[in-house]
Structure 1
Amino acid sequence: METKEKLFLYEETAAKIESSIKQLQLQPGDKIASVRKISTEFHVSVNTVFQAYAILEAKGIIYSKPKSGYFISMSPKSAIISLKKNDLTLPTIVDITAMSAVMMKKAKEKEIVNFSILAPVNEHLPITKLNKYVTSSLYEISNDNYQYHLVDGHPALIKQLALKTFDWPNSISQDKILVTNGCMEAINLCLDAITKPGDIVAIESPTYHGILQSLEQRGLQALEIGVNPETGLCLDDLKEGLKKNKVAACIFMPNCHNPVGCKMPEANKIELVNLLGGLDIPLIEDDALGELSFHSAVFPAKAYDKYNNVLYCSSFSKTLAPGFRIGWVSGGKYHHAIEKLKYGSNMSTNSVLQAAIGKYLESGQYNKHIRKMRNALQSQMLKYLSTISEIFPAGTKLAIPQGGLSIWIELPPKIDAYALQKEALNKGVGICPGHIFSTSDFFHHYIRINYCPLWNHKTEKAINTLAKVLQRLT
């Protein structure tokens, strides 16, 4: 099954402008057509052209001069950041928790502009409406929300979760859904169900540091597979890794990858599911950010699962309420084992908050909220990319996010991101250094920034402060 990826109009416009630049053989310093001229020639809005120019600026193809227009860049920043090559060495022991915990704690202790924690800010959340449904759930007549619910979760929420998969090629039935305390509990339950200490687990490189911490706590080894900043997981590297290692499970993020922000093309997801299904190697899919993809008609890998081999993990922490800690898992052929582990660990998840989210989904407002949130995040992302591309030092490279909440940035090689993080904290700016996204030191000069904080004078000043610290370190 193949699906055609649909580009947004501003992406199509950016591609056309880039093609024109190549055809005209414009040189660094040459001025390009004005926004209004491009708008007229390509029959698109002025705002679309501005968005297209923001992408080209982030790629380092053009730069702007106040009151003068746009010019071909003389010191381009590539959108294609360095790809971690999988050298297929032995899997590594994970030792990341201590460093990650210290950095997160320091970021929380200070009064800072915090780009380090990957969570939506309140301005993007439907807090008033959610409060209404929380109150309603507390005061209903014949309320069961003060009692233990069944281990699988609140019936109203489970029904809505199943309905969310209705248009998938392979939908999920209600009896294959288990509500959890966030996406990480779902992932941890999956790991406990299918692995034992010493097993090898294939992960992406870079990957979310919480996954590395989970592997460390369970005595599991990590086999790191490279990620392409545009197309996600490198399937060829995975195939080689599977040939040379006995892999017990895989944990991947096909959509809205954290930290890179990339997504796998639909054809690649299908190939991944069929590859692992044919080898009977379980795939734990982390889809906590998947609904924030900027592209339409995007399915998770689970949607293509004919083998019942994908353990799908998701959450409302990135889209509705981080503090509610409501996630869910559908464990395929391992689902019964996961249910038993959930019952033995904490029995159930907060009933009132489950009921509130269930009511919110029933109201039909969720899809509208997601569309609004995506649009807002996309606008935010373009502002962050444009500014970072303009003021960060030469040699900086950016991965252009296709969704999610983060920008993955490669800095000049001599920069130590951990030292940068410490100095930035002292200046009131929180970032995530690349060290915590891998068991190796490959990403020592990378950082992750959350672009969700509203773009205003305060956040712009923080980005400028970070640029000044970088200039000093270079």
Structure 2
Amino acid sequence: MTLYHQLADQLQALIEKRVYDVGQRLPGVRRLSHQHNVSVATAVSACRELEQRGVLEARPRSGYYVSRPPARFDAPRMRRASTRPRAVSGQDRVLELIQAVNDPSLVNFGAAVPDPDFMPVAAIERAFHSVLREQRRRCVGYEFPPGALELRQAIARRLVALQCPVSPDQVLITNSCQEAVTIALKLLTKPGDTVVVESPTYYGLLQVLESLGLKALEIPSDPQQGISLEALALALQRWPVKACVLVTNFANPLGSCLSDQDKQALLSLLSQHRVPLVEDDIYGDLPLLGPRPRPVKSWDRDGLVYYCASSSKTLSAGLRVGWLVPGSQQRRAEYLQFINTVSVATASQLAMARYLERGHYDRFLRQLRGEHAKAVARMTSRVEQLFPEGTRISRPAGGFVLWVELPGQTDTTELAERALQEGVSFAPGSLFSTGNKFSSCLRLNCAVRWDNRVEKGLARLAALL
């Protein structure tokens, strides 16, 4: 991370603590450089970075002013989870939500799919042109499991940088992060087994559990601190848990991130009970503030963590490239991937490898994180202005979705049906649990192209409340 990004993060933390309040002028760049022992150029770059994030506003001949208002609404409450494993059902409703993404007549706040404006579309196009021109014969054939060596090498290098000592031979390319999670669960469980998930949890995971005939044991999660380790410890003592599936960095839908201390405590707790962790790190590259957090895999020395991720939230959902580090079960995982889908598209693998090897990814991520921070702040501000008093809004540490808890007895499942008739899609809270405890909640995708159509769509949704 560059020095000016570090300074920008420090200043943003002070703004969020209201050391500098909305509308207040920041100290001049010369004073900032003196206070933080950096050059004037670094101070200027930091202020421009915060301007890009939507935190500061530059006023000619006056300086930089805080433009992001402090949060008016409280964070959502942590709900008690069920005390016993439950079968998963009813997840077929998700398909209607996902199909709404491809309907140009709808404003999509539902599926967590970033608008192409948030993706390096031109760079990915150039990478495809290069590999199709230089390796056209290879591109029309299968790249059987474990996948293209170039891509496995690039992913292994990135994991090593995250303190995960992984070799290319330990990486399996999959069609998505969801396929990686599915393969890991097939390796670890059989129908009828119990799997720990956080509550609320990503509905795609519940779909996987339903398809595999597994039971979900939901553990409550704090909107900022993440899964309750105390509740998890009690559950592990009481139930024969076969696996634990968690998004440890910027959980979907809460946006919470476990601290390094809690990640190590989690791994220690699971080790005591010999329960494997399937770690979904799909949002790990997307902090809104500060450095990229380490995955739990970086502390794993006993092969207990099955690491899963993909490129769908950062580079391109259409690439359909994910990966799994299955440890000692590499050969079995390769066979399961083969019988699932034979192989991942060769051109997609080679294009992603080409993009990563050219070294532009980290620079792009710095820009993308700023865009996400700006998008989340903008959505938060508009929800605070439009939604009723008593609404609670998450404060995600990363990713690009908001979790909103509505006041009273609002049924967001019924609300979602009326919203679709008004041309607006969102994800109702009932999808994120096996029970009905989040019926008054909803999830909003912030990574949308913000224009007058989106403004009107959000206003129509608010009017339905």
Smaller-chain TM-score bracket: 0.7 to 0.9
Conservation of the 8 A alpha-carbon contact between 2:429 and 2:441:
yes
User: Does structure 2 retain, via aligned residues, the 8 Å contact 1:107–1:425?
Assistant: no
- 1:35 aligned to 2:23? yes
- Change in Cα spacing, 1:244 to 1:349, as seen in structure 2 (3 Å) is same
Check the 8 A contact 2:100/2:108 in 1, yes or no.
no
Please say if 1:351 is aligned against 2:346. yes
**TM-score, with normalisation over the residues of structure 1?**
0.86
- Which one of the candidate residues 131, 135, 156 is aligned to 1:137? 131
Q: Kindly state the Cα deviation for residue 306 of structure 1 after the two structures are TM-superposed.
A: 1.5
User: Would you say the 8 A contact 2:148–2:350 is kept in 1?
Assistant: yes
Tell whether the 8 Å contact from 1:10 to 1:49 is kept in structure 2 after alignment: no
Q: 2:265 aligns with which of 266, 271, 275?
A: 271
Residues 305-342 of structure 1: CA deviation (Å, up to 9, x unaligned): 11211111100011111011100000123333212211
Q: Distance in 1 between matches of 2:66 and 2:394?
A: 16
Contact 2:97 2:425 in 1 (8 A): no
In structure 2, relative to structure 1, the CA distance for the partners of 1:124 and 1:49 (3 Å cut) is closer
- Residue of structure 1 equivalent to 2:413: 418
- TM normalised by structure 2 equals 0.88
Q: Is the 8 A contact 1:309 1:333 kept in 2?
A: no
Separation in 2 of the partners of 1:341 and 1:176? 15
What does the per-residue CA deviation read over 1:233-275, in whole Å, with 9 as the maximum and x for residues that have no partner? 1111111111111100010001111111111111111111222
For residue 386 of structure 1, the aligned residue among 375, 381, 390 is 381
Q: How much does 1:145 deviate?
A: 2.5
Q: Does 97-106 or 425-434 show the bigger shift? A: 97-106
Q: Which amino acid aligns with 2:449?
A: L
What do the CA deviations read for 1:90-142 (whole angstroms, capped 9, x no partner)?
Answer: 21110032222234335644611111111111111111121111122112158
How far 1:372 sits from its partner (Å)? 0.9
Over the aligned positions, Cα root-mean-square deviation in angstroms equals: 2.3
8 Å contact kept, 2:249–2:283: yes
Residue 336 of structure 1 pairs with residue 338 of structure 2: no
Deviates more, 1:424-433 or 1:439-448: 424-433
Q: Name the CA distance, whole Å, in 2 between partners of 1:146 and 1:157.
A: 17
- Tell me which residue corresponds to 1:9: 11
For residues 386 and 399 of structure 1, the distance between their equivalents in structure 2, rounded to whole angstroms, comes to: 12
1:199 matched to 2:187: no
Which structure 2 segments of 5+ residues have no match? 1-5, 33-42, 58-64
Partner Cα separation in structure 1 for residue 69 and residue 256 of structure 2: 15
2-structure distance, mates of 1:463, 1:291: 28
Q: Partner residue of 2:68?
A: 54
**1:285 counterpart SS class:** strand
In structure 2, do the counterparts of structure 1 residues 52 and 335 end up closer, same or farther at CA, with 3 Å as the change threshold?
farther
Separation (CA, whole Å) in 2 of partners of 1:55 and 1:237: 35
Q: Distance in 2 between matches of 1:251 and 1:225?
A: 11
Whole-angstrom distance in 1 between the partners of 2:124 and 2:130: 10
Aligned equivalent of 2:459: 464
* Residue 307 (structure 1) aligns with: 302
Show CA shifts across 1:415-463 (max 9, x none): 1101111111111111000010000100000000000002222222221
Work out whether 1:257 is the aligned partner of 2:251.
Answer: yes
Amino acid at match of 2:318: G
> Which amino acid in the other structure matches residue 398 of structure 2?
G
CA distance in 2 between partners of 1:464 and 1:142 (Å): 49
Kindly tell me: are residues 184 and 297 of structure 1, through their superposed partners in 2, closer, same or farther at Cα, counting changes over 3 Å? closer
User: Contact 2:100 / 2:106 at 8 angstroms: preserved in 1?
Assistant: no
User: 2:369: which partner in 1?
Assistant: 374
Deviations 1:367-392 (A, max 9, x none): 11111111111111111111111221
How many residues in Structure 1 have an aligned counterpart in Structure 2?
432
SS in 1 for 2:256: coil
The answer (yes or no) to whether the contact 1:86–1:237 under 8 Å persists in 2 is: no
User: Are residue 168 (structure 1) and residue 182 (structure 2) matched?
Assistant: no
Amino acid at match of 1:83: M
3-state secondary structure, aligned to 2:124: helix
Mapping 1:141-290, distance limit 5 Å: 143-290=137-284
Give me the identity figure in percent. Answer: 30
Q: How far did residue 466 of structure 1 move?
A: 1.3
Q: 1:110 to 1:127 in 2, by over 3 A?
A: closer
- Provide closer, same or farther for how the CA distance between residues 194 and 52 of structure 1 changes in structure 2, counting only shifts above 3 A: farther
Q: Kindly tell me: are residues 272 and 333 of structure 1, through their superposed partners in 2, closer, same or farther at Cα, counting changes over 3 Å?
A: farther
Q: Name the stretch that deviates more: 292-301 or 36-45.
A: 36-45
Q: Partners of 2:300 and 2:66 in 1: how far apart?
A: 36
